[in-house]
């Protein structure tokens, strides 16, 4: 049997909505499907203001522009993260200060972040790894005290909560991804959440090539022109049409993923109890959106051996995030301290196949092979 790591799920309405968008004669950005997607997020999660973008990377680039990051500024971010968590800030000339993960969770250690704060700290970016919330309250307290902005890389965190509050809606900015590997997809796609109303007007301008086109279309300006720096961060309304079809099925997609996640947790608990590997941790302040089911092996060698065993059996299990502070790009310029927890997750974390259309037979096969391996 072959079990892929991920497989695309289409809800069935995507083509119909794309066709409808084409029939409307308006396929560029900010059409009716873009509005519908933004209203979905603002309505369901009480986000102040949302902007559909072409990727989470672009959303973070918008955040970096809005925060007016410039050379001399420091931005603190976890090393166990995706390149796009920090690259947008590097593009603005910031110095990245890498924080370690918690010992038992890939999320950033807020106490370590605290030790890295300096008068030059302009922003702290956190990743809600696997859609599990970072402990935001202590971070917000630090941000008030030291006056830095908080950016949530919520790429994996759709429909996930911290103490009942939707992730992406807690910091100054939140950034989501609809890349094909996420729970809700549009191939490539993203969303910027602007929680601080002071930034809304400028966000409209930056997203529209530095023009006041959005205000013009609302009838608030009698012409539009170049008013600020910016770029083109808005997606075609056809992408939004695809995304809207996915969002309409959010509840059933989340329920199904949760069911698969919980089956893994239950079936693999004897192996976790025996100490062969650790399972995913969900702190009491966080919800679970079933984005990733991961295990943490005791060493790189254990992980390599298990992965090649699974591969021989047709199962694709993958790891990700090589510590950014040791990356080929950043490693040579890194002067900070050792980040042992980030390195540990880099070496030892393994993600098991999890996708909407995964069958019980496929999952039982994966579970059976893992049980065999350790018996």
When the beta carbons of 31 and 190 are compared against ligand PLP, the nearer one is: 190
Query: Is 117 exposed, middle or buried, given 0-12, 13-18 or 19+ CB atoms closer than 10 A?
Result: middle
Nearest residue to 102 via CA among 319, 234, 286, 261: 286
Cβ 157 to ligand PLP, closest distance in Å? 9
Report how far residue 153's alpha carbon sits from residue 73's, in angstroms, rounded to the nearest whole number.
19
Cβ 40 to ligand PLP, closest distance in Å? 18
Return the residues of window 74-113 that contact ligand PLP according to CB under 6 A. 81-82, 84-85
**Stretch near ligand PLP under the rule CB under 6 A, chosen from 141-149, 151-159, 165-173, 206-214:** 151-159
Cβ 129 to ligand PLP, closest distance in Å? 7
**Stretch near ligand PLP under the rule CB under 6 A, chosen from 30-38, 49-57, 164-172, 192-200:** 49-57
Q: Using an 8 Å Cβ cutoff, are 267 and 117 in contact?
A: no
Q: Does 362 bind ligand PLP (CB under 6 A)?
A: no
Q: Determine the size of the site formed for ligand PLP (CB under 6 A).
A: 14
CA atoms within 13 A on the CB side of 12: 2
Q: Does 152 bind ligand PLP (CB under 6 A)?
A: no
Report how far residue 50's alpha carbon sits from residue 299's, in angstroms, rounded to the nearest whole number.
41
Report how far residue 156's alpha carbon sits from residue 80's, in angstroms, rounded to the nearest whole number.
14
Q: Which of 77, 155, 203, 286 is the binder for ligand PLP (CB under 6 A)?
A: 155
When the beta carbons of 186 and 212 are compared against ligand PLP, the nearer one is: 186
Structure tokens at 121: 């700290």
Nearest residue to 235 via CA among 226, 227, 244: 244
Return the residues of window 126-145 that contact ligand PLP according to CB under 6 A. 127
Length of the chain: 375
Nearest residue to 253 via CA among 189, 178, 170: 178
Q: Does 177 bind ligand PLP (CB under 6 A)?
A: yes
Which residues of this chain interact with ligand PLP, rule CB under 6 A? 55-57, 81-82, 84-85, 127, 153, 155-156, 177, 179, 190
């Amino acid at each position: 049997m072959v079990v892929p790591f991920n497989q695309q799920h289409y809800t069935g309405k995507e083509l119909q909505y794309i066709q409808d968008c084409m029939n409307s004669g308006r396929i560029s950005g900010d059409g009716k499907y873009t509005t519908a997607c933004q209203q979905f997020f603002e309505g369901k999660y009480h986000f102040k203001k949302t902007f559909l973008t072409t990727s989470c990377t672009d959303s973070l680039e918008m955040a970096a522009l809005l925060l007016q990051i410039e050379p001399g500024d420091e931005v603190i971010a976890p090393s166990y993260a995706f390149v796009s968590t920090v690259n947008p800030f590097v593009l603005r000339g910031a110095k990245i200060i890498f924080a370690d993960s918690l010992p038992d969770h890939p999320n950033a250690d807020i106490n370590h972040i605290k030790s890295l704060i300096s008068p030059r700290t302009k922003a702290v970016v956190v990743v809600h790894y696997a859609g599990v919330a970072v402990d935001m309250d202590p971070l917000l307290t630090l941000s008030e005290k030291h006056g830095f902005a908080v950016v949530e890389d919520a790429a994996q965190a759709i429909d996930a909560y911290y103490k009942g509050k939707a992730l992406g809606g807690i910091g100054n900015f939140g950034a989501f991804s609809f890349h094909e590997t996420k729970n809700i997809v549009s191939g490539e796609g993203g969303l910027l959440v602007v929680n601080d109303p002071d930034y809304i007007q400028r966000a409209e301008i930056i997203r529209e090539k530095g023009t006041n086109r959005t205000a013009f279309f609302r009838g608030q300006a009698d012409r539009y022109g170049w008013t600020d720096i910016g770029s083109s961060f808005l997606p075609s309304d056809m992408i939004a049409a695809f995304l809207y079809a996915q969002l309409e099925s959010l509840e059933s997609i989340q329920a199904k993923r949760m069911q698969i996640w919980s089956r893994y947790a239950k079936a693999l608990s004897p192996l976790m109890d025996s100490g062969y590997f650790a399972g995913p941790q969900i702190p009491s302040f966080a919800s679970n959106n079933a984005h990733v089911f991961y295990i943490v092996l005791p060493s790189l060698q254990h992980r390599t051996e298990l992965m090649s065993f699974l591969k021989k059996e047709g199962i694709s299990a993958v790891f990700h995030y090589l510590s950014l502070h040791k990356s080929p790009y950043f490693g040579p310029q890194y002067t900070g301290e050792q980040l042992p927890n980030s390195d540990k997750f880099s070496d030892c974390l393994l993600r098991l196949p999890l996708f909407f259309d995964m069958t019980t037979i496929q999952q039982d096969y994966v579970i059976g092979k893992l049980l065999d391996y350790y018996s």
